[in-house]
Amino acid sequence: MAYENRNAAYDLSLFDEELNFSAAAPKRHQDDEAQRQGRKKHRQHHQVVRLPEEELNKIRRRRHNPVRLALGAAGAAAVTFIIGVIIVGQVQLTELNQQIITAEQTLANTESVYIQNQMKVEASHSHAEIEKYATEVLGMTKASNAQKEFVALENSDKAEVSAQPESNIFVQFFESLMNLWS
């Protein structure tokens, strides 16, 4: 029966009293007339439905779905955990960077101390100190002319080139290339 009157959404006869559209409304079946008469009897003057306060409070109270609440709490916990992991990672990264900087500064200071010590060692071993150590501790003396032996060569220095055995043309070509590059 609810589907019999398909144009109920456009039924302007409900407002006939106020707007006086009844003359413009098309003629309808007798069933439509009976429905209109029944509606007029049951219709209130202002067309406003009033609910008791208790029902309004029930409607206003929101019913929370426990599954949705659990999923929301789990999602919030997951997001909080991920953010916490990111923050902890950044803190660890910062600490490691600070340790690297401290280690580099320690290395630079140690290299500086090493260079200073190396220069002190080199300065402490001057020729005079080495000679003093050699004469006092080791008992060495400077060489005198009597201890020196001079070697005389009869002829002046000479360089001799030995004759190479003859080789084939390929070996000579290869050797000439090697001589160009050396």
Among candidates 7, 73, 63, which has minimal Cα distance to 35? 7
- pTM for the model stands at 0.36
C-alpha to C-alpha distance for 132 and 119, rounded to whole angstroms: 20
pLDDT score, position 130: 81
Tokens linked to 63: 């019913």
Specify burial of residue 125 (Cβ count, 10 A radius: 0-12, 13-18, 19+): exposed
For 19, 24, 27, 60, 139, the CA distances from 12, given in Å and listed in that order, are 9, 10, 13, 33, 136
Tokens linked to 26: 């098309």
Where are the domains positioned within the chain? 8-60, 85-138
pLDDT score, position 102: 96
Among candidates 151, 33, 114, 159, which has minimal Cα distance to 11? 33
Per-residue pLDDT of the chain (182 residues; tens, 9 = 90+): 445 555 556 666 666 655 544 444 444 455 566 666 666 555 545 567 777 888 777 777 767 788 999 999 999 999 999 999 999 999 999 999 999 999 999 999 999 999 999 988 877 777 777 888 888 888 888 877 777 777 766 666 666 666 666 778 888 887 887 777 76
C-alpha to C-alpha distance for 136 and 127, rounded to whole angstroms: 14
Among candidates 2, 4, 26, which has minimal Cα distance to 13? 26
pLDDT score, position 70: 94
Tokens linked to 74: 């789990």
